[in-house]
Structures are given as C-alpha cells and as structure tokens.
C-alpha cells in the first residue's frame, strides 16, 4: 500500500522534511508504524513511518495482466505485482535476462528478472509461486462512456428501459411512453471493449 506523509509530530522523525512525499509501505509488527517496503535494500535499519503522520492513498487497482516481453519491448508499460515501476530497464537477449533499475525513497536499487517476468532471487517458482516483485503488464484502464436511458414502471411494479441515447436531452425527447409510467432519464456507464 502507499501512504502520504501529512505531518511529523516528532521533531526526530526522519521524514520531517518530506511532507507530501509518498512511500510504498507494509504493515509492521509494531501496530503504530508502517515499514517502508523493501527498505532493507541498501538501508539499515529499516525505516518506519508513524501511522498518525500519514494517510493511506486509496489505489484503484485493476487485476494484473501476465508479463509479456514482446509487449514490453514494444513500449507497453510494466510494473511489479504491487505497482512499482522502473526508471530504466534493459533486456539481454542471449542471457534471457531483464535488468531493471529504480530509485525509491532516495535509494537506487537493481533487480533481475527472467524473460517471463519472474524476479530472480534463487527461489523455485513451482515451490514458492509468485512474489510481489514479479513483473506484470500495467492493465489498460477500461474506456467508459456515458449513455442515457428512459426508465418506466408499469402498474404491477416492474421496471423497463427504453433505447440508449447519446445525451440527456436526446433521451428526454425520445420518451414515447405514457406519462404515468415514466420515471425519468438516467445516465448509464458502459465499458467499451478494446
């Protein structure tokens, strides 16, 4: 999850000069803090942020799409399972290795992946499965359009709808039903398939 620093109630807080900064964190065993995720890479000891000094950023996440090297090589964005993106990356065809670099919270870190996007840390994927550092394609946000419909209610309480219209005004002029059964014009969000 991600948090935004909104205060530093302690004058000794390491983040007192970082108000407004956003960090990827995880729950810590100490209930009053969040631990900066992967802070162990290049940092010792791990860094913590007091819960009272930050707010959780609500992330709308679409389901991850499996990593596809050919799409990545054609410029489509990819990220880790938890949404981490990279400042730079390269694919080494002979070794079938992807090398990625990122700067997070002032720390530069490198990571290595197989050509299928699996984080290379020596673990056996069959035994341990996926991890948060494995690569996925950034899901494409659905294209949403708004249409307008007329809604009617019959004497027996059943609802029905008319045709879809491109605007509220068009739906109002397209109302051909009995005025007693007419409920009104309502917007409808429709997801268009790519």
Q: Residue ranges of the domains in the chain? A: 2-57, 65-137, 143-192
% of the chain at pLDDT higher than 90: 17
pLDDT digits (tens, 9 = 90+) for 80-136: 877 778 888 999 999 999 999 877 667 777 889 999 998 887 666 666 566 778 899
State the DSSP string of 50-68: EGGGEEEEP---PPPEEP-
For 173, phi and psi rounded to 5 degrees?
Answer: -80, -20
% of the chain at pLDDT higher than 70: 79
Measured distance CA(194)–CA(192) in Å, rounded: 6
Q: Which residue has the higher pLDDT, 60 or 182?
A: 182
State the chain's mean pLDDT as an integer: 80
* pTM reported for the whole predicted model: 0.47
User: CB-based burial of residue 138 (10 Å sphere; 0-12 exposed, 13-18 middle, 19+ buried)?
Assistant: middle
Asked if 186 and 151 touch (Cβ cutoff 8 Å), the reply is yes
Return the structure tokens found at 89.
Answer: 């990356």
Paired with 192 in beta bridges are 143
């Amino acid at each position: 999850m991600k948090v935004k620093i909104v205060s530093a109630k302690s004058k000794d807080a390491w983040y007192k000069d970082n108000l407004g900064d956003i960090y990827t964190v995880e729950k810590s065993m100490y209930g009053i803090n969040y631990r900066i995720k992967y802070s162990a890479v290049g940092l010792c000891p791990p860094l913590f942020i007091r819960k009272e000094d930050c707010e959780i950023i609500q992330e709308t996440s679409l389901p991850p799409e499996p990593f596809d090297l050919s799409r990545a090589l054609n410029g489509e964005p990819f990220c880790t399972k938890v949404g981490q993106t990279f400042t730079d990356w390269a694919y080494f065809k002979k070794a079938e290795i992807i090398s990625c670099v990122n700067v997070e919270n002032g720390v530069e870190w490198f990571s290595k992946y197989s050509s299928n996007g699996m984080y290379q840390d020596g673990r056996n994927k069959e035994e341990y499965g996926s991890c948060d550092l494995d690569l996925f394609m950034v899901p494409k946000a659905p294209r949403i359009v708004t249409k307008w419909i007329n809604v009617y209610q019959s004497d027996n309480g059943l609802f029905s709808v008319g045709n879809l219209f491109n605007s509220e005004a068009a739906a109002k002029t397209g109302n051909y039903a009995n005025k007693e059964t007419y409920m009104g014009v309502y917007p409808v969000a429709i997801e268009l398939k790519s």
